[in-house]
Structure 1
Amino acid sequence: MTDPAPEPAGPASMRHLLHGDRLRHLTRLDRLLDLPCFDRGPLTGPAEARHEQTYSRLRALGLDAGGSLALHRDRSRLLTALEWAATVDPGLFLTALVHFSVVTCTLAELGRPGEGLAPLVEDLDAMDAVGGILITELGNGSSHLGPATEARYHHAGRTFTLHTPDPEAAKFMAPGGSPGRSRIAVVYAKLLVDDREHGVFPFAVRLRHGATTAPGVRITPLPPTSLVPLDYAVISFDGTPVPYDGWLRDSADITDDGRFEDPLDGSGHRLVRSLLASAHASVGAATGQAAAARAAVAIALRYSGGRTTMGRLAPRLPVLEYRTQQEDLYSALARAYAATFLVNEERERFVRGVHSRPPAAGGTPPTWAPWSAAHRDLALAKAWTSRTLEQVAAVCRQRCGAQGVLSMNRITDYEDLARIFHAAAGDTLLIHLDAGKSLLAEPPPPTAELPAGPLDVADPHTAIRLARLRESRLHTDLARRLDEATGAGSGLRHQEPDEFAVWNPLLPGLVDLAVAHTKRVVLERFQRQADALTGSPDRPALATLHHLLSLDSIEEDLGWHLEHADLTPEEGRLVHSARPRALAGVHTHLPALLNTLALPPARLGAPIGQPDWLGAVLDSAQH
């Protein structure tokens, strides 16, 4: 395989804006596709064969990088590997995200060296064991905040034992049901010292060594699922021993005389710190889903450009010439670009180690889940890309007709990935609830008056102004309702209000505020990328896509803006009438926009995404 063409000299190019300097590394990873474990032929027989293939691919990916620790130390390389994995195999991506970004990170960052921890780190690093995270509990909603699983400290031997006190506390949905492969898990449990709780901590536990299950560990495989099929299981503990250094204690300690010490006073702060890897999981999930969205739309556009129809209006015309195909797929392309620009800025900050102060640092612990408190911007990016991937993949599946529903064409795999990630790496709803609550505690975004006269809907700044206005009004309205519910400033409050009664009516508004905030950020970041192409020959192509995205954004909230008199019905009609010109512009520049995605057919693997898609489909059928 050859390296991609060098970037043109002079002003920035679209390809550089979309991919940075990652293309050479992605091309190098494509060499893994020649390994037997990456064979694209259909698997027959029991589900264990597919699971074994997934874990063999994970091992190959890790060894190619020099081990888990090498990826942990090189954040840019890690995210690029995850981006590649999401394009090639969503099951591999989910497994790699947990193994590298969560388990390896947690052991390396929160663990303290010791004889018990060292062999676990070595096995993870050498890819001799698969890492998993055990946090969600079967019968306890929001168990991330308060797991029922117990880690009891025994002072005589300075050890711990893990206990599942009841069936509801069993850890749920973690892969690990297939026997015969070594497993190491990060288990989240409440620490008990002399029967006193001291917050939630992670513990490094060897669940299985080869075919031997660890003492006190019970693994019950779950029935197979078609969505990102892995060997999911329910796992419980009955006195499972953990050495002292298996406690991933960070800055906490238990003194020689049995006294617990922790500089992070307060369970909220400790919980957020214990979930340090959630920021890694969020940025990794966002990166992979943005890559999957690009892959889905690339497959659909290539197929639509080569698929002809015998429709009586124009026999033998490619379906991409039809306006119905353009309406859906060009908007999907704009969403994929926008999600990528959103993620690129977050991953750049993450690689540089630049993090905004999490809301919980000021003393307010998370209310529903810890993800937004650990890092709000990354959590919101993950939630946005889940939504984007689900929308993009669904449209691509529909517009590819019968071919779109075939698993071999990959689009359904990408759609399933989005469905999984509405819950994985932080539940989307809970992320929005906590993010909305933290946004409400901050000043609303500054807005400017809309200009007098009809709006220029062709100007992308119009969409940004409207997005800022909507976010600010949602913020103001929620703040007013909160003050009314609590009696703040009225002098009428004589007792503390019931927290649930206060917040429950506001929950849908918190979600709306969080989504509106992210949408405004997405539009602003796309604008910055478009501005960066000033003087570049690529600017007209990106400008047409930018125009379409802006119109889509206004149209999505058009009813709300009409209700609040931000727009007139005539301006609403202007939005509709501007759309054909935007679509025509994207159609003209589609070759450049599609080429910028830089997705070689071998990496996509989908028969309908190949240059000779008909021959590829027939070849797949023969196998």
Structure 2
Amino acid sequence: MPLEPLPTATRDEIQRLVHGTCDPVFLSELHQALTTGLPDDSGGRQLLHRLGLLGDTLPHDLFEDPARLAAAHAWVAATDPSLCLAALVHHLLCLGSIIQLGDGADEVTGRIKALRSGRAKGVYLITEAGSANSHLATRTRAELDPETGEFTLHTPDVQAAKFGSAGTLDIPQTAVVLARLFTDGTDRGVFAFVADLTDDAGLLPGVEVSSPIGLGALPLDYVQVRFHQVRLPHAHWLADGASIAPDGAFHDPAGSVERRLQRTLRVGQGLWATMPAVAAATSRQSAVQAVTYAQARSTRGKLAPGVPLLTYRTQQRAVLGALADAFALTCAAHGARVLWEESRTASGDQSGAEMGFSPWTAVHQPLAAYKAAAVRLAARVSAECQRRCGFSGHLDANRLAAYHGFHHAFDAAGGDNQLIFYDIGRALAEAGTTGQATDPTPPAAGTPPTSAYWWPAVARRHQHDLTRHLVEQSRAGDLGSPFERWNPLLEDAGLLGEIYANALVAEDVTRTLAGIRDRELADALRALAALHGVTAARRWSGPLLALETLRPADIQALSDAADELCDEILPHLPLLTEAFAHPDDIAPTACDPALAAEGAWTRGGTA
């Protein structure tokens, strides 16, 4: 840590970088909410208490301040990843659906108040356990009773059972359930419905849950849920502008069953826009722990007995590379949040493409890409930091395993990353076949990989090269069914979607650098930005070489470039670790095995 306090201007700029537009008063309230003593109750009551404390820090209009919403969940992720997942579902998916898709009916407003205050836990039930891609073929039914105006929610068979974190049966739980609406026997598309699952006495009539489903990487109350002719008031239909006239005439502004699903799922945009901030927070904390560990840990290797672990180049490239990736995710958090704000105020169709393997890119292609890229990179960062901290990295007290489990689980949760990349890659290639692809500007002649601007240009160039390659392959192959055409090309399509997402992050990094005014901070961040690019290029070396986006000599030069950048970063580590770390009572900043045993020693033979 710096020996002297940081200048006020530097500290203010760091806060804007890490926390966006959040003011210090909010951050102080958030800090207090996450460190307030909790009741002795375990399980559901404690969870409700913590959700209530967190909700108290958020604005009354949950979505009026995306920066505050993102920062709150980012801090929770650094504190307790399991709580973060519960909070993301509670606020962004359950409450988000009710607020954004509902019409403000009094009966549903009461559910909003209970969820906001922590008197009920929010659940989101979308995935059906019995089939892949179930989001595209929801089978849970909600049938209108024309005489009463109520809906009957029903699970047709065991394959249509919903999967979710709804197993805390001793507290009130309110779910948003995605179901296929039928009126007069006609399929009207997938809508969201509000259904109470439990009250203080347990499960409500018609709701059935399985025994708990264990998931060690992310311990929550997972179960399967089935509905047996559960009656829902008409107001519990989150109609999103659709209506049913007294004579039974149905009207939906979406215009089609497919567009209805896209509109119903648009609440996912808030989750995708928030996940980069969450990923950045856990990655910064992981990297700070790994750096601190490598600085303090002396080695006994024969090459140089007694030197700090961070003296080794391999350790520098790994842990400073993690710090660089954490900075890139911090920049992506800003980019995703701005994009979400723009999408919320824009009119017209915000979808990215037609539905393919999943609905996510059709809802919003860039935001889905941000989510997929962010959680995959954060999982890689936490895993690398855990590995570089040896035994200490596996201790529960240091949370690196929990951070990795959280993001590794989100590779499939919240929209499957690989399916997102497949769909993006296929959409980009299809655009290329119609002449819509643009030829990017290559890196300026002589631009070294130690420049922060080198990797964004390389990434966009590789995206262009891979798009052209896929277009050529798709034209050369059998032009039969879409499956026959794309099945052999999906691996490359996934790579194209992934490099598109990586390029979004890379460009956010250069935009962030352009706004930094403090000289020392700018110097440190420029080196981090370049190291992120070098680290990414080394990771992508195979595909880059395969399409000759880079030459073997370019790849060979990356190790020397990484070492040069590590030398630039090392003097700035006190500034960077202070800037990136959460307070010690929120999350540990030192990955020390002694901390786990502090206060727990027992000596034999004492009275």
Q: Which has the higher mean CA deviation after the structures are superposed, 225-234 or 535-544?
A: 535-544
Aligned to 2:168: 178
Q: Decide whether aligned partners of structure 1 residues 288 and 347 sit closer, same or farther in structure 2, where only a CA change above 3 A counts.
A: same
Partner of 1:330: 320
Matched, 1:409 2:402: no
User: In the alignment, which residue of structure 2 is the partner of 1:386?
Assistant: 375
Partner of 1:31: 32
CA distance change for structure 1 residues 73 and 577 in 2, over 3 Å: closer, same or farther?
closer
Determine if the alignment matches structure 1 residue 549 to structure 2 residue 538: no
Task: State which of 447, 457, 462 in structure 2 corresponds to 1:470.
Answer: 462
Q: What displacement does 1:5 show?
A: 7.7
Deviates more, 1:18-27 or 1:536-545: 18-27
Letter of the 1:387 partner, please give it: R
CA-to-aligned-CA distance 1:482-525 (integer Å, 9 cap, x gap): 334475xxxxxxxxx42221222222222111111122222222
Amino acid at match of 1:463: W
Unaligned runs of 5+ in 1: 40-47, 488-496
Partner Cα separation in structure 1 for residue 532 and residue 66 of structure 2: 30
> Shift of the alpha carbon at 1:182?
0.3
Match of residue 377 from structure 1: 366
Whether 1:617 and 2:596 are equivalent positions in the alignment is yes
Match of 1:253 among 225, 243, 247: 243
Quote the Cα distance in structure 2 between the aligned partners of 1:579 and 1:357.
Answer: 45
Larger mean CA deviation between 231-240 and 346-355 belongs to 346-355
1:63/1:127 contact within 8 Å kept: no
1:461 counterpart = 2:462: no
Aligned pair in 2 of structure 1 residues 334, 250: CA closer, same or farther (>3 Å)?
same
Q: What residue number does 2:54 align with?
A: 61
**1: distance between equivalents of 2:156 and 2:344?**
40
Distance in 2, matches of 1:203 and 1:457, equals 52
Q: Quick one: distance in 2 between partners of 1:361 and 1:21?
A: 28
Change (3 A) 1:189 1:592: same
For residue 167 of structure 2, give the secondary structure of its aligned residue in structure 1: coil
Between 1:119-128 and 1:438-447, the stretch displaced more is 438-447
User: Shift of residue 23 of structure 1?
Assistant: 6.4
CA RMSD in angstroms comes to: 2.7
CA distance in 1, matches of 2:302, 2:598: 30
CA distance in 2, matches of 1:400, 1:278: 35
Show the counterpart of 1:20. Answer: 20
Structure 2 counterpart of 1:205 = 195
- The secondary structure found in structure 2 opposite 1:601 is coil
- Deviation of 1:113 (Å): 3.4
Are 1:514 and 2:488 an aligned pair?
A: no
1:98 to 76, 89, 98: 89
Q: Distance in 1 between matches of 2:192 and 2:425?
A: 27
Q: Match for 2:173: what amino acid?
A: R
Amino acid at match of 2:598: D
Structure 1 residue 602 corresponds to structure 2 residue 591: no
Flag the 1:52–1:75 CA change in 2: closer, same or farther, 3 A.
same
2:224 equivalent to 1:224: no
Q: CA deviation at 1:38?
A: 8.8
Match of 1:490 in 2: none
- CA separation in 2, counterparts of 1:437 and 1:89? 37
In structure 2, the partner of 1:494 is none
For 2:225 and 2:125, locate their aligned partners in 1 and report how far apart those are by CA, in whole Å: 8
Alpha-carbon distance, 1:97 to partner: 0.5
SS of residue paired to 1:71: coil
SS at match of 2:520: coil
How far did residue 555 of structure 1 move? 2.3
Residue aligning to 1:147:
138
In 2 relative to 1, CA 114–513 (structure 1 residues): closer, same or farther, beyond 3 Å? same
Counterpart of 2:17, as a letter, is: L
Counterparts of 1:567 and 1:101 in 2: how far apart (Å)?
41
Change (3 A) 1:482 1:386: same
Q: What residue number does 2:386 align with?
A: 397
Cross-structure match for 2:573: 590
Q: Does 1:448 align with 2:441?
A: yes
Q: Is the 8 A contact 1:184 1:205 kept in 2?
A: yes
Contact 1:32 1:38 in 2 (8 A): no
* CA distance, structure 2, for counterparts of residue 554 and residue 79 of structure 1: 29
Whole-Å separation in 1 of the counterparts to 2:314 and 2:289? 17
**Aligned-residue offset at 1:285:** 2.2
Secondary structure of the structure 1 residue equivalent to 2:38: helix
Q: Does the alignment pair 1:77 with 2:65?
A: no
Distance 2:349 2:103 in 1: 27
Question: Is 2:91 the counterpart of 1:112?
Answer: no
Shift in Å, 1:148 = 0.7
Q: 1:354 to 1:34 in 2, by over 3 A?
A: closer
* Alignment of structure 1 residues 468-507 onto 2, 5 Å: 468-485=460-477, 497-507=480-490
Alignment partner of 2:483: what SS?
Answer: helix
Cα distance between partner residues in 2 of 1:486 and 1:523: 36
1:269, 1:360 within 8 Å by CA — same for their partners in 2? no
Q: What is the aligned partner in structure 1 of residue 356 from structure 2?
A: 367
Q: Distance in 2 between matches of 1:324 and 1:243?
A: 62
Asked if 1:239 is matched to 2:218, the reply is: no
| 1:499–1:85 Cα change, 3 Å | same
Q: Which residue of structure 1 aligns with residue 418 of structure 2?
A: 429
Alignment CA distance shift 1:10-1:51 (3 Å): closer
| Cα distance change, pair 463–73 in 1 and its aligned pair in 2 (3 A) | closer
Q: Secondary structure at the match of 1:186?
A: strand
Alignment match, 1:45: none
Once the two structures are overlaid, the 10-residue window that deviates more, 576-585 or 88-97, is 576-585
Structure 1: how far apart are the matches of 2:116 and 2:397? 32
Q: Which runs of 5+ in 2 are unaligned?
A: 603-607
User: Counterpart of 1:617 in 2: which secondary structure?
Assistant: helix
Contact 1:90/1:417, CA 8 A, preserved across alignment: yes
Q: Distance in 2 between matches of 1:232 and 1:264?
A: 33
Q: Does residue 86 in structure 1 map to residue 77 in structure 2?
A: yes
Matched with 1:299 is 289
Q: 1:432 to 1:124 in 2, by over 3 A?
A: same
Alpha-carbon shift at residue 566 of structure 1 (Å): 4.1
Give SS of 1:197's match.
strand
Shift of 1:552: 1.9
User: Counterpart amino acid of 1:458?
Assistant: T
Distance in 1 (alpha carbons) for counterparts of 2:263 and 2:555? 47
In the other structure, the counterpart of 2:605 is: none
Three-state SS of the structure 1 residue aligned to 2:339 is helix
Tell me how far 1:11 sits from its aligned partner.
12
Amino acid at match of 2:453: H
What number of residue pairs does the alignment pair up?
594
Contact 1:120-1:206 within 8 A present in 2 as well? no
1:383–1:428 CA contact under 8 A, matched in 2: yes
SS in structure 2 at match of 1:459: coil
CA deviation after TM superposition for structure 1 residue 150, in Å:
0.5
Q: State the alpha-carbon separation in 2 of the partners of residues 30 and 390 from structure 1.
A: 25
Alignment CA distance shift 1:551-1:118 (3 Å): closer
Deviation at 1:475, TM superposition (A): 1.0
1:533 aligns with 2:523: no
